[in-house]
Amino acid sequence: MKIKNKVVLITGASGGIGAATAKAFHQAGAKIAIAARRREKLEEVANELNNFLILETDLSDEANVVEMVDEVIRHFGRIDILVNNAASIIVSPAESVTSEDLLLAFKTNLIAPVIATQRAIQFMKAKDGCHIINVGSPGFMMGIPFYAPYVCSKAAFSAWTRTLQAEVAGSNIVVSEYFPGYVRTDSRPESRVGDVEQDFLMSDKANAITRHFTKPQTPEEIADQLLNLAQHPKLLTYSSFAVRIGAWIALFSSFRLNLAKEMADTARKKQKLP
C-alpha cells in the first residue's frame, strides 16, 4: 500500500511510539491526525509535521472517541489508516488491584479502540485500501508481574482484534495486530506501589535468556515497523524475532513462570514490596 497522501489517525501520539509513528508516516507523505489528552505535547510533535490535525482527546470518554474520528472526517474528508496505539499502564499487585484501575485500563486499552474502529469502519467501507493497525502486547501470554490491569485489557484487545479480522476477511478493510516487546520511552507507568522507573522489572543480573527477551527497542524502531506494516499489511507482526520466540516460550508453563518470577523478584527488591 502506498502511504503518500493517505489520511492516518494515530492515538497516543503525544510521545513514545505514537509520536515516532506520526513522524515516520509524515516522512512517507501521509496526512496525519494525532490524538492524545495533552494538547501541549501534541503541539510539540506537530512542530515536525505538515498537513496535520491535532485532536485533544480523552480516550476514556466514549463520546470523545467518536468525536475524534468524526473530526478527522470533517477535516480531511476520509480516513485511510487507523493506528490504535494509546494505552493506559497501571502498576499494581494482582492481589490488590482495584476495580477502578481495571475499568480505567479497559476503557482506554479496549473500549476506546473498539469504538474508534467501529466509527472509522463506517467511513472506510465505501473505499478501498483501508487499514486498521492494533498495537497489542504479548505480555498477557507471559503474565507480566504487577501489570495486571494492562495485560488483562490487552488480552481482551487481542481477542477482539482477532474476532474482527475474521468478520472483515475478504472485504476492502485489512486489520493487523502488532506485538511490540519492551520499548524504552520517556514515560513512566501510573503506579500504585510508589514511584517506579519504566524498567523496574529489569535487572542487569538477570539470566541471559531474560536479558535477551527484555532487550529494549526504541520508539523509532517500532515506528519504522508500523510504517512497513502499513505498506505491507499482515495479520500479525512481532517487533523482533526475540518477541516472537518469547510468545512461543509462553506456551510452556514452567518456563514462562520462571521468567516472570524473576521479573517479580526484581521488582520486589527495587520497590521493597512484600
Q: What is the pLDDT of residue 208?
A: 56
Q: Which is catalytic among the residues 147, 150, 182, 238?
A: 150
Is 150 an active-site residue? Answer: yes
| CATH topology assigned to domain 7-271 | Rossmann fold (3.40.50)
Which pLDDT score is estimated for 231? 97
Helices and strands of the chain, counted as H and E runs: 11, 9
Tell me what pLDDT residue 192 has. Answer: 85
Which pLDDT score is estimated for 203? Answer: 67
Specify the pLDDT at position 54: 97
What share of the chain in percent tops pLDDT 90?
73
What was the pLDDT predicted at 168? Answer: 95
Please give the Cα distance from 188 to 129 (Å, whole number).
Answer: 36
Enter the pTM of the model: 0.93
- Domain boundary assignment for the chain: 7-271
Q: For the chain, list residues with pLDDT below 50.
A: none
pLDDT on residue 211: 59
Residue 172 · residue 127 · CB < 8 Å: yes
Tens digits of residue pLDDT in 132-151: 999 999 999 999 999 999 99
